[in-house]
Amino acid sequence: MKFKFTKFKFLLSAMLLLLGLAGYSQQIKKIYESEPGVTIDDAVFRHIDQEAHKLMEHKHPERFATLATQLANDHVDLKLLESFQNKVEASEIFKTNASGVLVVATIYKCDDCPNTHLRAASGFVIAEEGIAVTSYHIFKGDATDENSDLAVVVMDYEGRVYPVKEVLAASFNDDVAIFRFDVMGGTTSSLPLGQDAIPGQNVSIISHPHSMFYSFTSGVAIRSYLRNEAKKTSVTADFSQGSSGAPVFDDKGNVVGVVSATRALYNTDQNVQMVSREVIPVSRLKTLIN
């Protein structure tokens, strides 16, 4: 009789645990969706902020100043996924690859108030153990300040927030950085790398322009060129501030570039005529990987 009662308690505990996990899963989903596929941007931002502060309290993220010094690392050994071979619809690219796209958030002290704030950018995972890519300038650029920037965290598509632990390899000229975040016992979805885009090739981007999280844009590659002795590609797929470090996909869903910067082109009357959207070809990222 005692054995049966113990077995019953075990089964009841297991059921309660499963129900608790189910509730947690639903809670994570409600953090950024009012209904499936409808994102609440402010809720995403609040969630990252709250989780980042919890991680900061437990000293999980590496100090920003330390991450900046690690930008001198120039190679890392990684095992990458095999590239996709079959063309897919644009909607399938988003459905398949959004889980590998990250929000990369820098925590910084405010000059105007006693609080800390977040500066959101983009990134993507290339290896399951928490190895990801973003722009070099996220760790050292015009917007960064090692005196006020405290740490960096990432959030995945499901709403899980992880601490960034180290920069593994980086290139200033190519504006790319490979970093590691602590998956804390879990695993993450990864994205395969393809080949550089050529003019006329269809491309698409998943990024977070001005904290409009998980936006999908598409267009074509329009030219490849050298600028400041670095190879770049221009695309017509839209992006803006907050998109830095995002993956650029080909029509198979492979990463063919990394979002870097926009460059406004003016006429003699100083009116904007065109915006060049610069991405770093994936071949430049591959030079950092053994």
Q: What does the pLDDT profile of the chain (290 residues) look like in tens digits?
A: 444 444 444 454 444 444 443 333 334 454 678 888 889 999 999 999 999 999 998 878 999 999 999 999 999 999 999 999 999 999 999 999 999 999 999 999 988 888 889 999 999 999 988 999 999 999 999 999 998 999 999 999 999 999 999 999 999 999 999 999 999 988 889 999 999 999 999 999 999 999 999 999 999 999 999 988 899 999 999 999 999 999 999 999 999 999 999 988 899 888 888 889 999 999 999 999 98
The pLDDT value given to residue 92: 97
Q: Are 248 and 135 in contact (CB under 8 A)?
A: no
The pLDDT value given to residue 25: 39
Q: Are 161 and 154 in contact (CB under 8 A)?
A: yes
Handedness of CA 8, 14, 16, 18 (dihedral sign): negative
Interacting residues of 63 by C-beta distance below 8 A, sequence separation 6+: 150, 151
The pLDDT value given to residue 115: 86
Strands 230-235 and 272-281, sheet pairing: antiparallel
Amino acid, single-letter form, for residue 241? Q
Provide the token pair at 194: 């393809």
The pLDDT value given to residue 259: 98
The pLDDT value given to residue 12: 44
> Cα angle at 218 between 212 and 224, to 5 degrees?
115
